[in-house]
Amino acid sequence: MKYAFPENFWWGSACSATQTEGESQGSGKGLSIWDHWFAAEPNRFHNGVGPQNTSTFYQHWKADIQLLKQLNHNSFRTSISWARLIPDGVGEVNQEAVAFYNQVIDELLAQGVTPFITLFHFDMPMAMQEIGGWENRDVVAAYARYAETCFELFGDRVMHWFTFNEPIVPVEGGYLYDFHYPNVVDFRRAATVAYHTVLAHAQAVRAFRAGHFAGEIGIVLNLTPSYPRSQNPADVKAAHHCDLLFNRSFLDPVLRGEYPADLVAMLKAHDQLPACLPEDSALIADGKIDLLGINYYQPRRVKCRDTAINPQAPFMPEWFFDSYEMPGRKMNPYRGWEIYEPGIYDILINLRDNYGNPRCFISENGMGVENEQRFIENGQINDQYRIDFISEHLKWLHKGISEGCNCLGYHMWTFIDNWSWCNAYKNRYGFIQLDLTTQQRTIKKSGEWFAETSLNNSFDK
Ligand code: BGP
């Protein structure tokens, strides 16, 4: 069967500044929380590999953009590093960074690859973290100024902006589950961070609209459909709570301009609401987006709790649910994530039916695999598993589009194998293999498959 996609469908991949640029301590860049945390606790990072030398895009951007072209990308998402552009978070702009991002954007355009630019991908400048990070409203204002600076510097050429990538991840990692700096475990502080991130997003959208910049502005959210173990009302309720906490906490403000009433009620009942100012709701209403990026890796399967809550333990999302391991689920054992292709379709249908069918695209989907060298045949990684992963997801995406969903493209995570935060280079996601010693780049079989698919705007299966 042939799966053909709409005209001008976006085919590409995504990455982020911290994970690819390297040169994290030079060229005028300020430190981010990642540089600081690695210096303090290198043991937290797989094989002690930190953010200094990630994939050397800062040196090899020109050759790498050639490779993008070779993969027939018509679009590509990366992020601007706030700490590189404005080393102290506020104040002076680093001209070397301006020159670097200008070159990258210009070269992408020259090669016919549309740049999609994210403004914040987990990388808080350390100077901003030192004054409280997202817990401090001054940082919200500083972020809005940084966003405006980016629109002014690059907005004549960048037509697709994203305020945040997966804004819930720094909330979960940094303030609940101890996998990002500052390793706080405190729900109310987490809720404040999430709330201020939404305000920061809305401020940036306001600045974008007020400046009448060309193009469009959106956000990238990791949406994890919540599936209950059964239709028992207790399980269904657990799934509803997860949906409120992990999806709708960002999805509703950016698409509907307000928070779900049940989420607010739920946090209020547990005395976890952040401090709100009267003018906040008008600001949030102004944060409605033009384009939604959807990152989809895995579903969330839940059931109602089997055990009573320990009243001494910190208040956590898990007070409302237990994770459920569905028998027979398909796993990516390297990352420990379930692979469930219909999830992509369920997300799109939910957006179509409950959110007015917004303009959206899949901004990340991917499969991290360990020790891929074992699949080398004639000098190339034969990653048939990745081709199967992509094509099975694309089938469901195709079904969504054929049923009217407004999905405009598909970007893979990622282009060249890159640095996965605390997992460093453990799991490889790229279309292109990276030799960490020589920095040599070699296209994998999936890269060739994707180039072909993008060229034909279709694939057969
Ligand atoms: C997403 C992030 C990416 C990327 C990817 C893969 O959540 O937007 O930055 O890293 O996941 O996950 P990981 O690197 O943790 O394996």
By most ligand atoms within 8 Å of CB, the mutation choice from 32, 81, 119, 364 for ligand 1 is: 364
Q: Give the chain's end-to-end CA distance (angstroms, integer).
A: 5
Residue in the block written with tokens 């004549």: 156
* Residue 76 · residue 454 · CB < 8 Å: no
From 369, 196, 405, select the one nearest 284 (Cα to Cα). Answer: 196
Cβ atoms of 406 and 393 within 8 Å: the answer is: no
Rg of the chain on CA atoms, in Å: 21
Asked if 152 is an active-site residue, the reply is no
Nearest-CA residue for atom 10 of ligand 1 = 420
**Atom number, ligand 1, closest to the C-alpha of residue 19:** 9
Pocket lined around ligand 1, Cβ cut-off 6 Å = 16, 19, 165-166, 169, 222, 295, 335, 364, 368, 413, 420-421, 423, 427
CA distance 38 to 310: 33
Q: Which residue is it, tokens 């179509």?
A: 352
Contact 377, 371 (CB under 8 A): no
Ligand 1: centre distance to CA 168 (Å)? 13
Cα-to-centroid distance, 34 and ligand 1 (Å)? 15
E strand or H helix at 202: helix 187-210
Tally DSSP H helices, then E strands, for the chain. Answer: 16, 21
- Assess contact for 76 and 13: CB atoms under 8 A: yes
**Do strands 114-118 and 75-79 pair parallel, antiparallel, or not at all (unpaired)?**
parallel
Which residues are within 8 A (CB) of 164 and not within 5 positions of it... i.e. 6 or more apart?
118, 119, 120, 121, 197, 200, 201, 219, 220
Contacts of 398 (CB under 8 A, 6+ apart): 3, 5
Q: Given ligand 1 and candidates 294, 421, 423, which is best to mutate, with the most ligand atoms within 8 Å of its CB?
A: 421
Query: Among the residues of 293-407, which ranges form H helices?
Result: 342-354, 384-402
Write the residue with the smallest CA distance to atom 6 of ligand 1.
420
| Nearest-angstrom CA–CA distance, 195 and 374 | 45
Q: What tokens were used for 115?
A: 């740049």
The angle that helices 342-354 and 384-402 make with each other, rounded to 10 degrees, is 30
Supply the residue whose CA is at minimum distance from atom 14 of ligand 1.
420
In this structure, the residue with its CA closest to atom 2 of ligand 1 is 166
Regions of the chain with pLDDT less than 70: none
**21, 23, 135, 364: the active-site residue:** 364
**Residue 158 CA neighbour count, 13 Å, CB half:** 30
pLDDT reported for residue 238: 98
CB 168 within 8 Å of CB 222: yes
Distance 54 CA to ligand 1 centre (A): 14
Atom of ligand 1 nearest to the CA of 222: 7
pLDDT given for residue 369 in this prediction: 98
Q: What are the E-state strand segments in 166-299?
A: 216-222, 226-228, 291-295
Residue 160's DSSP bridge partners are 116, 216
Residues 6 or more apart from 66 whose CB is under 8 A from it?
111
Other CB atoms within 10 Å distance of the CB of residue 248: 20
356 backbone φψ class: left, alpha, beta (φ>0; ψ -120 to 50): left
Name the residue at shortest CA distance from atom 13 of ligand 1.
420
Tokens 């009573």 label which residue?
A: 308
Q: How far is the CA of 14 from the centre of ligand 1 (A)?
A: 10
pLDDT at 53: 83
- Which residue has its alpha carbon closest to ligand 1 atom 4? 420
Give the distance (Å) from ligand 1 centre to CA of residue 373.
21
Contact, 250 vs 167, CB < 8 A? yes
251 Cα to the center of ligand 1, angstroms: 19
